[in-house]
Structure 1
Amino acid sequence: MSSKLENVSFLERQFKLKQNKTDVKTEILAGFTTFMTMAYILAVNPGMLAEAGMDQGGVFAATAISAAIACFAMAFMANYPFALASGMGLNAFFTYSVVFGMGHTWQFALTAVLIEGILFILLSFVNFREAIFNSIPMNLKKAVSVGIGLFIALIGFTNAGIVVGGGGTILGLGDLSQRAPQVAIIGLIITGLLLAKKVKGALFFGIILTTLIGLPLGVSYMPNGQFLGIFSAPPSLSKVAFQFEFANIFTFDMLIVMFSFLFVDVFDTIGTLIGVSSKANMLDENGKLPKLKEALLADAIGTMAGACLGTSTVTTYVESASGVAEGGRTGLTALTTGVLFLLALVLSPLFGMIPGAATAPALIIVGLFMMSPIKEIDLDDFTEAIPAFLTIVMMPFAYSIAEGIVFGMVSYVILKTITGKSKDVSAVMYVLAVLFVLKEIFI
């Protein structure tokens, strides 16, 4: 009994649970929820990088271990509930643009990720990324939260097959006669009922119940049909770890690829931190995030670790909002998620039984939670409203948090300048707007 109390006391001291108005149970539940909504990366990332010629098992191990390292860094350095893993979009750029499009080896792409990670750390020490975060006006910060909400909801709908692309339209309704969309809709109703009844851990229990419902319908399944099938030996990293191509680091192509990784990583991370921390009321009265430097440094450490182990850029995950929605407020949430990534090395079949249809309801509901700051956006001043609107809609439309920020910030600078309100624009915003325009033209 005394050892249990000592463990709780350690967690209280380390993560300041009472100060953040939370407890061990809430934080661990939030960590489980976050992991379940982002565990798909353990299947998607190895498959995508395998197309580039990398060993799929090695990438799986690298994805899990680098995510754990980054989550632990976030937990102990920043004490924030933000989880990290290899970023979607960044892995697609790795495979389809750098390897297939430009004709480079995957070792070349991995080297670019390593250099980007090193620069990321240096930029953290000189407060460059903090300056970017703090330069974004409050209305745009609130818009980022709303845009991320729509983006997360879109991910949920597409993961479940409720919304699909093609078929003569950009987006359309999926085939609802299929089992996966049906299970997701049932899960959405269940999760909504749990929330309406104010059940603690509603998102987490919604995922579990939806997974169980999917078993007899063939949407989710027990691995190998038996309990013992949930265990597996961790794959080897030997074929992907430390596989760098330093001979081409001073080429123009390396500069372009490295900058592209850096750009998306910086603004995806900043956008996620703004959106999720805004929803969790972590920003101070000036719209700043305490321990921002530590959070950004944890992200950079994850990217360097990922490159060394053999995976694409590690970044802060927007799905962290699901854990925050469950009440996660400290690094104990991130720590729990990191531990689950390590467990996935030997329990990958078990985590693999949770289908996208089961996590989709949680993501859709989190999208709703992220919408609330829209009430606080000034929609009467069009120099504020238009940039905020563009930020919101371009995140799901362009399928990119970074591009949503680009459209919002550039339009903000232009409108404020041409309407004689340039005093509302900081020097950092002007510099960033110019860089964004140059990036869109030349890269």
Structure 2
Amino acid sequence: MLDRYFGISAAGSSIPRELRAGLTTFLTMSYVLFVNPQVLGTAIRIDGGFEKLLIVTALAAAAGSLLMGVVARYPFAQAPGMGLNAYFAFSVVIGQKIAWETALGAVFISGALFVVLSLAGVRQAIVRAIPNDLKFAIAAGIGVFLAFLGMKNAGVVIANPATFVTLGAFGPPVLVAVFGLLVTVVLLVRRITGAIVYGIAGATIAAIVTRAAVYPDAAGHLVAFGGFAHGVVAPPSWPSGLIGALDLRGAIGLGIVSVVFTFFVVDFFDATGTLVGLAEKAGFLTPEGDLPRARRTFACDGLAAMIGAVLGTSTTTTYARARAGSKKAAAPA
């Protein structure tokens, strides 16, 4: 039944391979579990904020990924988007002094607009009107942006008042990142299955063994891995104060129409470029550049944003890092 529904054998794949691909995708995007709460925590101030935001980030990612996998039948993972969460926290809540509950309402409304336009076929028509070269350019631009973020977070590049960016000092974070990247590149060139997983594991082991200061502590300072002081696992905190806290009445007010519009436009091009880029790399696009099952796929993207807003996080969208675990495949039409 699974084989027929998802077209696993038709894609030349198998369930074990799909499980490895899912693990790879998770590892390449799991950083969002920690980064998203840090970003949103600057604007959403509640007791136990980080732990609760981590839980809703995981729940939003799970709900969006299940929608995309089970309903749209594409191996594209979803989670609260980087960049959109920064706009939510720093521009809308902190910059414009809009309550975070109202901002969540704006995210919900923008997601609802996505669903309506997707089901009506408007979103697909707009996508078809965009030249294929521009579609792929959007995906390439997102990739370059993510690569730049990775180099910035690793300290490979740092801010410079004269040239905006410059090379950073080759300290432990940079060396560990470069080591992991080299391992990944070598294995990819040699076409080793699971190259990205091995690269991540290699960098992690190297950081632990060498006692490299790459892990941020509670104060934000980089320290060496100190073990699991509170155990490996712990029961999750129920995200009270976040789930269902969105303020739709306030979001409908004319004062934040521009906010809803910005969430809508930014996520439109972000999701469109990412979905088209992932579909092209995985071999899903038709020769004309169309995405099969586009209506339900785009609708799932909008539903994920709505669910994320109800849970208490900024816009949930498709992740370009899902390419790490994707492979040329074709689910039945």
Offset of 1:223 from its aligned partner?
A: 7.2
Distance 2:136 2:111 in 1: 28
Matches for 1:16-415 after TM superposition, within 5 Å: 16-54=7-45, 55-176=49-170, 178-216=171-209, 217-218=211-212, 219=214, 225-226=227-228, 229-324=231-326, 327=327, 329=329
Distance 2:224 2:163 in 1: 36
Offset of 1:254 from its aligned partner?
A: 2.2
Quickly say closer, same or farther: Cα 1:111–1:203, change in 2 above 3 A.
Answer: same
Identical aligned residues as a percent: 37
With the length of structure 1 as denominator, give the TM-score of the two structures: 0.68
Offset of 1:148 from its aligned partner?
A: 3.3
Distance 2:228 2:26 in 1: 23
Distance 1:36 1:296 in 2: 25
Quickly say closer, same or farther: Cα 1:212–1:116, change in 2 above 3 A.
Answer: same
Offset of 1:245 from its aligned partner?
A: 2.4
Offset of 1:165 from its aligned partner?
A: 2.3
Offset of 1:329 from its aligned partner?
A: 4.2
Higher helix share: 1
**Larger displacement relative to structure 2 (237-246 or 217-226):** 217-226
> 2:178 corresponds to which letter in structure 1?
I
Distance 1:133 1:200 in 2: 33
Distance 2:293 2:30 in 1: 27
Quickly say closer, same or farther: Cα 1:30–1:95, change in 2 above 3 A.
Answer: same
Q: Say if 2:281 and 2:328, in contact at 8 Å, map to a contact too.
A: no
Q: Say if 2:119 and 2:296, in contact at 8 Å, map to a contact too.
A: no
Quickly say closer, same or farther: Cα 1:308–1:204, change in 2 above 3 A.
Answer: same
Quickly say closer, same or farther: Cα 1:303–1:145, change in 2 above 3 A.
Answer: closer
Q: Which runs of 5+ in 2 are unaligned?
A: 216-222
**What is the DSSP-based 3-state SS (H/G/I as helix, E as strand, rest coil) of the residue aligned with 2:317?**
strand
**What is the DSSP-based 3-state SS (H/G/I as helix, E as strand, rest coil) of the residue aligned with 1:53?**
coil
Deviation string for 1:369-411 (max 9, x for gaps)? xxxxxxxxxxxxxxxxxxxxxxxxxxxxxxxxxxxxxxxxxxx
With the length of structure 2 as denominator, give the TM-score of the two structures: 0.89
Q: Say if 2:61 and 2:80, in contact at 8 Å, map to a contact too.
A: yes
Quickly say closer, same or farther: Cα 1:96–1:330, change in 2 above 3 A.
Answer: farther
Q: Which runs of 5+ in 1 are unaligned?
A: 1-9, 332-443
| Root-mean-square deviation (Å) | 2.1
Distance 2:75 2:176 in 1: 29
**What is the DSSP-based 3-state SS (H/G/I as helix, E as strand, rest coil) of the residue aligned with 2:166?**
strand
Q: Say if 1:81 and 1:328, in contact at 8 Å, map to a contact too.
A: no
> 2:285 corresponds to which letter in structure 1?
L
Q: Say if 2:76 and 2:318, in contact at 8 Å, map to a contact too.
A: yes
Offset of 1:87 from its aligned partner?
A: 0.9
Q: Say if 2:103 and 2:251, in contact at 8 Å, map to a contact too.
A: no
> 1:268 corresponds to which letter in structure 2?
D
Distance 1:223 1:231 in 2: 17
Offset of 1:258 from its aligned partner?
A: 0.9
Q: Say if 2:246 and 2:312, in contact at 8 Å, map to a contact too.
A: no
Offset of 1:228 from its aligned partner?
A: 7.4
Offset of 1:166 from its aligned partner?
A: 2.7
Distance 2:142 2:256 in 1: 30
Quickly say closer, same or farther: Cα 1:227–1:79, change in 2 above 3 A.
Answer: farther
Q: Say if 1:157 and 1:163, in contact at 8 Å, map to a contact too.
A: yes
Distance 1:16 1:293 in 2: 19
Number of equivalences: 319
The equivalent of 1:367 in structure 2 is none
**Larger displacement relative to structure 2 (304-313 or 143-152):** 143-152
**What is the DSSP-based 3-state SS (H/G/I as helix, E as strand, rest coil) of the residue aligned with 2:158?**
strand
Q: Say if 1:116 and 1:259, in contact at 8 Å, map to a contact too.
A: yes
Offset of 1:227 from its aligned partner?
A: 9.2
Offset of 1:328 from its aligned partner?
A: 6.8
Distance 1:145 1:48 in 2: 24
Quickly say closer, same or farther: Cα 1:90–1:152, change in 2 above 3 A.
Answer: closer
Deviation string for 1:329-386 (max 9, x for gaps)? 478xxxxxxxxxxxxxxxxxxxxxxxxxxxxxxxxxxxxxxxxxxxxxxxxxxxxxxx
